Amino acid sequence: MRVGVLGLQGDFREHLTVLRSLGVDARDVRTKEQLQELDGLIIPGGESTTIAYLLEKMGMLSALRERGAQGFPIYGTCAGMILLARELNDPYPENRIGLMDITVKRNAYGRQLDSFEVDLQIKHIGEFHAVFIRAPKIVRVGSEVEILAEHDGVPVLVRQKNLLASSFHPELTGDPRVHKYFLEMVARG
């Protein structure tokens, strides 16, 4: 199984470390050609506008949109969730992959200083200590989207078929269970 982590910007190294600790052939992905060699992809946290700009510039945005629509597993954390969202509740729209039927508000939990950690109950996983950093908030969930975890009644981990998205950063916790859940999605293809 070959799983890529989009390495254009953000905390991609942390995701690669988790995947490699699980024995996965994890690859730093920076070109459209590298996407074709993968069984799944993680889009890390970072600056969503920068990642979107670089995806477009590298010719990867439409390729990801096309592959994702065909069932290619994609997991977006934080900024990656923003890129997967069909809609943004934001005055500054940007190009996105736009395949997941959710509406997201950027930085809705506050600024960097407002970052926090909390224990969540995650369906299929159990209790999980989650790290939220300038996290986006899901403000609408479509009928085909399964809510896997909530914080204060707001979805923070969701799945729609081959797509997984979280407001939090599981790669910063030392707990690989969310990554293992994604790897199971990839294995089922």
CATH number of 68's domain:
3.40.50.880
Total tally of structural domains belonging to the chain: 1
Query: What pLDDT was estimated at residue 95?
Result: 80
CB of 174 closer than 8 Å to CB of 17: no
pTM (2 decimals)? 0.95
Rounded CA separation 180/165 (Å) = 14
Q: Is 169 a catalytic residue?
A: yes
Structural tokens at position 166 = 């979280």
The residue from 14, 15, 151, 169 that is catalytic is 169
Q: Which of 23, 152, 38, 168 is nearest to 7 (CA)?
A: 38
SS3 (DSSP) at 173: coil
Structural tokens at position 75 = 């997991």
Mean pLDDT of 98-122: 85
The string of pLDDT tens digits covering residues 13-55 is 999 999 999 999 999 999 999 999 999 999 999 999 899 999 9
Residue 137 has pLDDT above 90, yes or no: yes
Q: Is 78 a catalytic residue?
A: yes
